[in-house]
């Protein structure tokens, strides 16, 4: 009996190993025939190409490993921004789809049906090329709020210049720790004595007062730098100084979050509708108001339904960010699996690293969301 | 009845097998690529996704260009018909993988011959069919007439996966100019972004600039700056490890160039068969055994010249008459002041 159970599994495993072995051997043989070396030594070589946009210091005299890091951080940046924006938009639209107001409900439905049924690549091209053509040249740009400019070469906005930034950051971290402490204490107080503390107001107060103190006593100071128009040639201008966001990043984030938000909205709607009608009615009958019903009764139960499918959408967004290559946003695929692959010719090595990276990213998101899901799951008592 | 039929078919099969064995020459046996090509009946050729003058498809899907003609020449030589080519459009990023993985057998896609490409990644360059160099295109209205007028912060659009990215860095770094590289995967995307005004300059091989200029919404608004910042010898590439196939592609290209040198054209090749000059006679298959070493018949080069034409005809048809680069510059024969010089076919 036992053998009968184990044997098929053992055979399957053996077949899988053999298939892998065959492909590895085949690749090795072919590479040998064509005089291609296999190895990861190239990672420490000088990359000798520049990248348009990087979160860390990078130039062509750095190594391929650093170019990889540049690409990875750019992918992370676009994914994180996309996930945050699509969640906010998705929750709003999801709730709007259930609104008793006809106009809000229908607009939300139209938005979802429109954006989720157009291929993402097309949307990215639209936001990039259509938006590029619509945006003004730097010299024609009108200031937004006096000092920001949205131009074809990017979005320019004043940047803050900090003195003793580290002290400020420490104070923010301290404030957050203090808030967590207060919340725990407040919860204890509520459960033991039944006394309600205005937790939200206290939290906000701490968050403002602590960092503010560093300005007065910690020597923290903040100035700002505004973008200035600079002439490159007779009809060619650019902005210098301040913070500049390339149009490639802007259009990619817009396209990814608008597209993914439609799916998140549907998850949210499904979650809310999945909570029994009786729950809502029971909550109303004990005198909770609409906001309390939503926050205390509906949402905690709906989240259990919302989280797992939304995790899939976050994973999709992260993987879809690799379409960046089409519009020159230097993400992992463009920088590493594109330029670096071409310059070194190390196809198998680079593609395997890239695949492993996306796998790790996806598994991390998945792991975090599973943890969060387990945390909010209803504990049967 | 059935018994005899069975015997008959096996006899026919045996004869057929014997026949193929005897007609198969030594060279064909040595060259797997040649054997496969003759079996398939077409040459598998990797080209660009659309670069006028080099490799470009019209609305009906017919490919033209000097890179395309190299593949057609090989098809004429090994299959006897220049039209038997299957073209695979490739991006700069895909091209080498397509060749080394065996998806195509010739890569004729305005590809620069460099040491690292030749030595590192399992490729062999067989020759040069266009001597090029990297240049810059700017808008006329910008008033820029030389790269000396470039200023810090200039944004430059280009392709990824090309030597262009590296040359651009060398160029700007050596002059101490900071720049913003905006690199796209496809040439059309680069052109669209530059045309929209995303970049101040567009940089790639000068031939490419001249060709892409014709695709702009208003070609007259753009100029190619006179400076050339790099050497870009463009030529066909084959996989490493099949030296007979490598020789066939190399000498197909050389035949086109040498035919021009001796004044042999697609229209006069027949008359040249009776020429007094042995060098000419060798080029039209009327003397010597020039094809045997490749496992080809003696008329292989004659077919190239009659079906595709010599290099000059190809250049005129694809690059000069289309207005891309009417002046041949370095791509003129060495006898006429250019640097086009190939070893003799003998």
- Chain B residues whose CB is inside 8 A of the A49 CB are 165-166, 169, 181
Confidence of residue B22 (pLDDT cuts 50, 70, 90): very low
In a shared domain, residues B254 and B113: yes
Mind telling me how many Å the CA of B281 is from chain A's nearest CA?
A: 37
3-state secondary structure B234-299: ECCEEECCCHHHHHHHHHHHHHHHHHHHCCCCCCCHHHHCCCCCHHHHHHCCCCCCCCHHHCCCCC
Confidence of residue B203 (pLDDT cuts 50, 70, 90): very high
- Chain A residues whose CB is inside 8 A of the B196 CB are 129, 132-133, 152
In a shared domain, residues B125 and B238: yes
Above pLDDT 90, what percent of chain B? Answer: 60
What pairing do the DSSP bridges indicate for beta strands A221-225 and A159-163?
antiparallel
Helix axes A102-116, A64-96, angle to 10 degrees: 150
Decide if B120 and A326 are in contact by the 8 Å CB cutoff: no
Decide if B183 and A137 are in contact by the 8 Å CB cutoff: no
Alpha-carbon span A88 to A257, nearest angstrom: 10
- Chain B residues whose CB is inside 8 A of the A326 CB are 184-186, 189
Confidence of residue B12 (pLDDT cuts 50, 70, 90): low
In a shared domain, residues B126 and B246: yes
Residue B79's pLDDT is what?
94
Q: What's the average model confidence in pLDDT over B162-169?
A: 88
Decide if A35 and B153 are in contact by the 8 Å CB cutoff: no
Decide if B165 and A328 are in contact by the 8 Å CB cutoff: no
E strand map for B147-218: 154-159, 179-184, 201-205
Q: Which CATH number fits domain A43-158+226-376: 2.40.50.140, 1.10.10.10, 2.40.70.10, 1.10.3720.10?
A: 1.10.3720.10
Q: Is residue B335 part of a domain?
A: no
Query: Is residue B272 scored above 70 in pLDDT?
Result: yes
In a shared domain, residues B142 and B19: no
In a shared domain, residues B192 and B307: no
Residue B21's pLDDT is what?
47
Structural domain count of chain B: 3
- Chain A residues whose CB is inside 8 A of the B143 CB are 233-235
In a shared domain, residues B240 and B109: yes
Q: Is residue B301 part of a domain?
A: yes
Decide if B120 and A34 are in contact by the 8 Å CB cutoff: no
Q: Is residue B332 part of a domain?
A: no
Residue A69's pLDDT is what?
94
Tell me the pLDDT tens digit for each residue of B294-343: 888 989 999 999 999 999 999 999 999 988 888 898 999 999 999 999 99
Who contacts B178 (Cβ-Cβ below 8 Å, separation ≥6)?
B152, B153, B172
Mind telling me how many Å the CA of A339 is from chain B's nearest CA?
A: 5
In a shared domain, residues B45 and B171: no
Alpha-carbon span B243 to B235, nearest angstrom: 17
Helix (H, G, I), strand (E, B) or coil at B104: coil
Mind telling me how many Å the CA of A353 is from chain B's nearest CA?
A: 17
Q: What's the average model confidence in pLDDT over B13-37?
A: 63
Strand-by-strand arrangement of the B237-239 sheet: B85-89, B43-47, B106-107, B237-239, B123-125
Q: Which residues of A338-355 are buried (b: 16+ CB within 10 A; e: fewer)?
A: bbbbbbbbbbebbeebbe
The enclosing H or E element of A245 equals strand A243-245
Decide if A328 and B100 are in contact by the 8 Å CB cutoff: no
Residue that is written with structure tokens 């926050």 in the block? A295
Confidence of residue B13 (pLDDT cuts 50, 70, 90): low
Q: What's the average model confidence in pLDDT over B76-88?
A: 95
Q: List the single residue in A48, A233, A248 with the smallest CB-CB distance to B142.
A: A233
Residue A8's pLDDT is what?
87
Q: Read off the CATH number of the domain in which B141 is found.
A: 3.40.190.10
CB A98 within 8 A of CB A272: yes
Residue A195's pLDDT is what?
78
CB B346 within 8 A of CB B288: yes
Who contacts A296 (Cβ-Cβ below 8 Å, separation ≥6)?
A283, A288
In a shared domain, residues B277 and B257: yes
φ, ψ (nearest 5 deg) of residue B180: -110, 105
Residue A226's pLDDT is what?
81
Residue A164's pLDDT is what?
74
Residue A118's pLDDT is what?
94
- Chain A residues whose CB is inside 8 A of the B240 CB are 34-35
Decide if A129 and B92 are in contact by the 8 Å CB cutoff: no
Who contacts A34 (Cβ-Cβ below 8 Å, separation ≥6)?
B100, B122, B239, B240, B241
In a shared domain, residues B177 and B293: no
- Chain A residues whose CB is inside 8 A of the B183 CB are 52, 328, 330, 334, 339
In a shared domain, residues B147 and B105: no
In a shared domain, residues B111 and B239: yes
Tell me the pLDDT tens digit for each residue of B66-75: 999 999 999 9
Maximum CA extent, chain A: 86
Residue A209's pLDDT is what?
83
Helix (H, G, I), strand (E, B) or coil at A157: strand
Residue B8's pLDDT is what?
59
Q: Which residues of A touch B (CB under 8 A)?
A: 31, 33-36, 48-52, 60, 129, 132-133, 137, 152-153, 230, 232-236, 238, 240, 247-248, 325-328, 330, 334, 338-339, 341-345, 347
Across chain A, which has 381 residues, the per-10-residue mean pLDDT values are 82 92 84 75 88 87 92 94 95 91 95 94 91 82 80 84 78 88 86 80 84 76 79 81 87 95 95 89 90 86 90 92 90 91 85 93 90 80 59
Decide if A326 and B189 are in contact by the 8 Å CB cutoff: yes
In a shared domain, residues B181 and B294: no
Range of the domain at B263: 31-131+234-327
- Chain A residues whose CB is inside 8 A of the B118 CB are none
Q: The whole model's pTM is what?
A: 0.79
- In DSSP terms, which residues pair with A154 in a beta bridge? A151
Alpha-carbon span A159 to A157, nearest angstrom: 6
Decide if A52 and B180 are in contact by the 8 Å CB cutoff: yes
Q: Is the ipTM of this complex over 0.90?
A: no
What tokens does B122 get?
A: 């399992």
Tell me how many residue pairs between chain A and chain B have CB atoms under 8 A apart. Answer: 126
Decide if B138 and A233 are in contact by the 8 Å CB cutoff: yes
């Amino acid at each position: 009996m036992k053998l009968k159970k184990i044997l098929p599994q053992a055979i399957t495993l053996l077949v899988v190993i053999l298939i892998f072995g065959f492909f590895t051997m085949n690749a090795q043989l072919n590479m040998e025939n064509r005089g291609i070396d296999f190895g990861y030594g190239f990672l420490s070589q000088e990359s000798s190409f520049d990248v348009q946009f990087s979160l860390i210091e990078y130039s062509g005299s750095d190594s391929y490993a650093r170019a990889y890091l540049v690409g990875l951080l750019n992918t992370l940046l676009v994914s994180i921004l996309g996930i945050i924006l699509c969640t906010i938009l998705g929750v709003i639209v999801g709730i709007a789809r259930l609104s008793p107001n006809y106009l809000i409900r229908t607009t939300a439905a139209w938005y979802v049906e429109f954006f989720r049924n157009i291929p993402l690549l097309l949307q990215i091209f639209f936001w990039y090329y259509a938006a590029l053509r619509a945006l003004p040249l730097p010299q024609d740009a009108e200031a937004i709020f006096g000092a920001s400019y949205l131009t074809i070469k990017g979005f320019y906005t004043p940047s803050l210049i900090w003195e003793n930034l580290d002290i400020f950051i420490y104070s923010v971290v301290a404030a957050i720790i203090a808030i967590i402490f207060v919340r725990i204490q407040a919860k204890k107080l509520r459960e033991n004595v039944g006394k309600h503390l205005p937790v939200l107001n206290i939290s906000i107060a701490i968050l403002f007062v602590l960092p503010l103190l560093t300005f007065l006593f910690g020597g923290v100071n903040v100035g700002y730098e505004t973008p200035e128009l600079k002439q490159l040639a007779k009809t060619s201008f650019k902005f210098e100084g301040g913070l500049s966001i390339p149009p490639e990043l802007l259009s990619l984030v817009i396209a990814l979050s608008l597209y993914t938000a439609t799916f998140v909205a549907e998850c949210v709607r499904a979650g809310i509708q999945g909570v029994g009608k009786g729950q809502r009615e029971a909550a109303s009958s004990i005198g909770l108001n609409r906001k309390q019903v939503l926050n205390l009764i509906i949402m905690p139960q709906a989240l259990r339904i919302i989280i797992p499918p939304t995790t899939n959408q976050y994973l999709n967004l992260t993987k879809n960010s690799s379409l960046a290559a089409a519009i020159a946003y230097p993400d992992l695929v463009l920088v590493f699996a594109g330029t670096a692959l071409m310059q070194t010719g190390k196809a198998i090595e680079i593609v395997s690293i890239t695949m492993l990276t996306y796998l790790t990213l996806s598994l991390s998101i998945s792991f975090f969301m599973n943890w969060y899901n387990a945390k909010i799951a209803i504990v049967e008592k | 009845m059935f018994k005899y039929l069975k015997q008959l078919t096996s006899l026919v099969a045996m004869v057929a097998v014997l026949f193929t064995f005897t007609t198969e020459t030594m060279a064909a046996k040595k060259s797997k690529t040649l054997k496969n090509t003759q079996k398939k009946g077409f040459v598998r050729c990797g080209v660009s996704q659309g670069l006028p003058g080099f490799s470009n498809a019209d609305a009906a899907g017919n490919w033209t260009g000097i890179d395309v003609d190299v593949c057609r020449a090989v098809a004429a030589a090994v299959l006897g018909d220049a039209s038997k080519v299957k073209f695979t459009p490739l991006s700069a990023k895909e091209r080498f993988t397509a060749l080394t993985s065996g998806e195509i057998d010739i890569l004729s896609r305005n590809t620069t011959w460099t040491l690292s490409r030749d030595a590192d990644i399992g490729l062999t360059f067989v020759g040069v069919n266009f001597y090029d160099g990297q240049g810059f295109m700017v808008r006329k209205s910008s008033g820029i007439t030389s790269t000396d007028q470039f200023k810090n912060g200039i944004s430059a659009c280009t392709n990824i996966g090309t030597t262009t990215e590296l040359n651009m860095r060398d160029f700007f770094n050596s002059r101490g100019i900071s720049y913003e590289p905006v690199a796209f995967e496809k040439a059309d995307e680069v052109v669209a972004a530059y045309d929209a005004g995303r970049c101040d300059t567009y940089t790639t091989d000068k031939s490419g600039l001249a060709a892409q200029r014709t695709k702009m919404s208003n070609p007259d608004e753009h100029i190619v700056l006179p400076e050339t910042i790099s050497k870009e010898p463009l030529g066909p590439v084959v996989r490493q490890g099949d030296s007979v196939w490598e020789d066939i592609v190399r000498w197909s290209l050389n035949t086109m160039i040498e035919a021009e040198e001796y004044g042999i054209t697609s229209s006069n090749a027949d008359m040249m068969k009776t020429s007094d000059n042995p060098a000419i006679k060798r080029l039209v298959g009327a003397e010597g055994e020039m094809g045997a070493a490749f496992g080809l018949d003696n008329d292989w080069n004659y077919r190239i010249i009659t079906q595709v034409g010599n290099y000059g005809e190809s250049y005129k048809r694809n690059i000069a008459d289309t207005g891309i680069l009417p002046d041949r510059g370095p791509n003129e024969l060495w006898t006429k002041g250019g640097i086009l010089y190939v070893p003799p076919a003998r």
